[in-house]
Chain A
Amino acid sequence: DAMVIQNPRYQVTQFGKPVTLSCSQTLNHNVMYWYQQKSSQAPKLLFHYYDKDFNNEADTPDNFQSRRPNTSFCFLDIRSPGLGDAAMYLCATSAGRRPLENEQFFGPGTRLTVL
């Protein structure tokens, strides 16, 4: 089945230790998104790619970076995680053909704990 896969599902890191979360998709979608979701809050968009074009949200901290080496894979790098970065990180994709009507397909998320 076509899907969005996130690895790992649970990630524990230490304060200040760089961490990378990965996302892959078999949907062949043009657009990939990274969201941060804290407990009982709405998902907050960090950035997204349309093909190789990177779009950063204005309020995304510099501590967060992303890479998309090919259509299928996208990575979220947190250079120096702080306690406030503990959250669920959600990857999503959309087909990108009708930008205003794109249904987004989400992965199961990676729960990040910062010690």
Chain B
Amino acid sequence: SQQGEEDPQALSIQEGENATMNCSYKTSINNLQWYRQNSGRGLVHLILIRSNEREKHSGRLRVTLDTSKKSSSLLITASRAADTASYFCATPGGTSYGKLTFGQGTILTVHP
């Protein structure tokens, strides 16, 4: 079953603008991760936020987590054309060891 739902499904912005993507999930989690996938490539881990954290930064990335609303957001500031990719949130799922369940993803296009 789908754990993470992301919106928007697609986002198109100009270079220099900020991009915000949202993820909602259904069950209690220990942590939430964000991954990036460039077209036709594997996923790259961006950031992990634990359930006892509300906000986390990594370079131009800012992630928030609201466990009461079961939602997270990923903000990319001062976007660049190289940020064009799909972005997925992922949550620990099921009882399988280290299993992640991925959201449907947001396709971000940054126009130069």
Residue positions of A touching B, CB distance < 8 A? 4, 6, 31, 33, 40-43, 45, 48, 50, 55, 57, 88, 90, 92, 94, 96, 99-109, 111
Contacts and interface: CB of A to CB of B under 8 A. Distances in A.
Nearest to A10: B40
A111 B39 CA distance: 12
A42 B45 contact: no
Given A42-B102, A55-B96, A100 B43 contact: no
Contact of A96 (B35, B92, B98, B101): B98
Interface of B: 4, 30-31, 33, 35, 40-45, 48, 50, 88, 92, 96-105, 107
Contact of B98 (A43, A88, A102, A111): A102
Given A48-B96, A50-B98, A104 B40 contact: no
Nearest to A53: B97
Contacts of A99: 97-98
13 contacts: A33-B98, A40-B105, A50-B97, A57-B96, A90-B43, A92-B43, A99-B97, A100-B98, A101-B30, A103-B33, A104-B45, A106-B42, A109-B40
A103 B43 contact: no
Contacts of B102: 42-43
